[in-house]
Amino acid sequence: MKKSFIFFVSLIFLVLLSNHSWAGPNKVAGCAVDMDITTIDYDQIISQKDIEQNIEGNTNEIWIGIIAQDVINLDTYTVEVSFDPDRLQFIQGAEENPFGGIGNILKKNRGKSIGFQVGLKDNNLKDTVVIANALAYSNKEEAPEGSGFLALLQFRIIDNKPNNFISLQQVSYVDSDAIVDPISTISNGVINGGVNNCVGNSLPEISNISDRVVVTNSSTENINFTVNDNETDASQLNVKITSNNQTLLPDQNITSGSISDTNRTISVIPVNNQRGIATITIQISDECNASVNETFDLIVNSTPEISSIPDQTTKKNTPIEISFTVNDQETSLDELTISFNSTKEDIVPTENINIIGTGQNRLISITPAVDKVGEVIITITVTDEYNESSSTNFKLSISKIDNNCNSENEKVTIKKVIYYLQVLSGISF
């Protein structure tokens, strides 16, 4: 199926503005700046082979490569390339250079691209170039794997001072199943970086952080992670933390701290009375401006709701059905888990309790044990997909079936009949 230009532009827009991260096949892929594109025998996995991070600025203009690394079924990409506009001027971009033996990775399996897009993100700041492209057809057989060129970019060098950095940010890959992956394994470039020993500089390292779930109007405990770098002392690593949902979690509500140089912490405080998901990105950069990102989701979840149930009564050996309702703001009602228990298994065994119905309206069906009477507390608990739960309980009274006219009114009536019979007959009973 051929993609339209409008489809492509819409997809790129969604990728750039997406506020949710997915764990797709390209979650562990990489993206690198290659400052010297005369050597391009790249490994098909993530490595530094022929990825030159540094180049001497002895010319007025340079061409650099933006390299995808270890991708799987790549269909679409977006990359932001940032630089200092006082030191570099963006000239142009290209998806390939066939005459120079440089092809685009999207065409690796004889696919056609819908059209390479390149331009300044902000014409006033002129400090970030956005590049994007996609396969023209949704065809897994054409979607490439491995490593190769995403784009070629040309810059004019304004000065030859040390450490003129070119950095990648907001890198996203979309596979042929339309799964979006933000890319955290990034290798940046530098002009004249050798002055401060940036030649051969390796990427910093950051430990994995799992997603966190908190209840509305609460905060997380400290979230611990570790950082390291082979060249830069851990105490000199820069940490930048951002949220992609400023309504739920403004950046100022994220606090970072240190247990030691390598052991770091953050704590987050979502805005009160807000629910949803915020993707938090922690970027670690070293003295050579090489950086890596770690992302995780903060899920702010409200507890599920369950209606109250008044105390109930039934007769011995008589089942009873009781209605109640459940609700949840985040979890589909049919995905809620409902459990129950009885305080007296001899009177109401748990296996004699069943939940009937779907959605919001439910019934609990209870069958007392044979010939048992007494009082028992029944508890119903509703649990959502994030393991938050709410409960309600009620007393169930099970009484004897009266077959011998034991009610007070019936006893009074019998006494009256006996009295009148005595009066009329003169016989004592």
Those residues whose C-beta lies under 8 Å from the C-beta of residue 107, and which sit 6 or more positions away, are 96, 113
Can you spell out the DSSP letters for 337-371?
Answer: EEEEEES-TTTS-GGGEEEE--SSEEEEEE-PPTT
Q: Are residues 233 and 369 in the same domain?
A: no
Between the alpha carbon of residue 244 and those of residues 20, 22, 50, 295, the distances in Å are 8, 14, 34, 11
pLDDT of residue 199: 60
Rounded to whole angstroms, the Cα distance separating 330 from 332 reads 7
- Residue 386: inside a domain, yes or no? yes
CATH number at residue 130: 2.60.40.680
State which amino acid sits at residue 195.
V
Rounded to whole angstroms, the Cα distance separating 107 from 75 reads 10
Whether the CB-CB separation of 331 and 384 falls below 8 Å is answered with yes
State which amino acid sits at residue 280.
I
Q: Are residues 282 and 331 in the same domain?
A: no
CATH number at residue 246: 2.60.40.10
Q: Are residues 265 and 395 in the same domain?
A: no
- Count of the separate structural domains present in the chain: 3
Whether the CB-CB separation of 143 and 176 falls below 8 Å is answered with yes
Rounded to whole angstroms, the Cα distance separating 111 from 133 reads 12
Report CA torsion sign: 124, 127, 130, 131.
positive
Rounded to whole angstroms, the Cα distance separating 74 from 25 reads 9
Q: Are residues 146 and 24 in the same domain?
A: yes
pLDDT digits (tens, 9 = 90+) for 338-385: 999 999 999 999 999 999 999 999 999 999 999 999 999 999 999 999
Rounded to whole angstroms, the Cα distance separating 56 from 117 reads 28
Of 163, 181, 201, the residue at which a domain comes to its end is 201
pLDDT digits (tens, 9 = 90+) for 274-300: 999 999 999 898 887 777 888 899 999
Between the alpha carbon of residue 338 and those of residues 92, 142, 271, 312, 384, the distances in Å are 60, 46, 30, 20, 9
Whether the CB-CB separation of 309 and 395 falls below 8 Å is answered with no
pLDDT of residue 287: 80
Whether the CB-CB separation of 164 and 191 falls below 8 Å is answered with yes
Q: Are residues 314 and 215 in the same domain?
A: no
pLDDT of residue 403: 59
Q: Are residues 121 and 197 in the same domain?
A: yes
Q: Are residues 324 and 294 in the same domain?
A: no
Of 156, 175, 201, the residue at which a domain comes to its end is 201
Nearest residue to 44 via CA among 64, 54, 29, 63: 29
pLDDT of residue 20: 43
Q: Are residues 191 and 257 in the same domain?
A: no
- Residue 410: inside a domain, yes or no? no
- Residue 417: inside a domain, yes or no? no
Based on the number of CB atoms within 10 Å of its own CB, is 371 exposed (0-12), middle (13-18) or buried (19 or more)? exposed
pLDDT of residue 7: 44
| Residue whose structure tokens are 């007959």 | 425
Rounded to whole angstroms, the Cα distance separating 112 from 352 reads 63
Q: What's the token pair of residue 405?
A: 């006219």
Between the alpha carbon of residue 138 and those of residues 1, 69, 179, the distances in Å are 6, 21, 13
Rounded to whole angstroms, the Cα distance separating 188 from 169 reads 9
State which amino acid sits at residue 78.
T
Rounded to whole angstroms, the Cα distance separating 118 from 308 reads 59
Domain that holds residue 173: 1-201
pTM greater than the 0.95 cutoff: no
pLDDT of residue 160: 83
Whether the CB-CB separation of 371 and 316 falls below 8 Å is answered with yes
5: enclosing H helix or E strand: helix 5-17
Of 147, 177, 201, the residue at which a domain comes to its end is 201
Positions in the chain whose pLDDT score sits under 50 = 4-9, 13-21, 195, 405
| Residue whose structure tokens are 């993530």 | 46
Q: Are residues 361 and 393 in the same domain?
A: yes
What value, to the nearest 5°, has the Cα angle with vertex 266 and ends 264 and 269? Answer: 175
Nearest residue to 321 via CA among 353, 283, 289, 349: 353
Q: Are residues 319 and 381 in the same domain?
A: yes
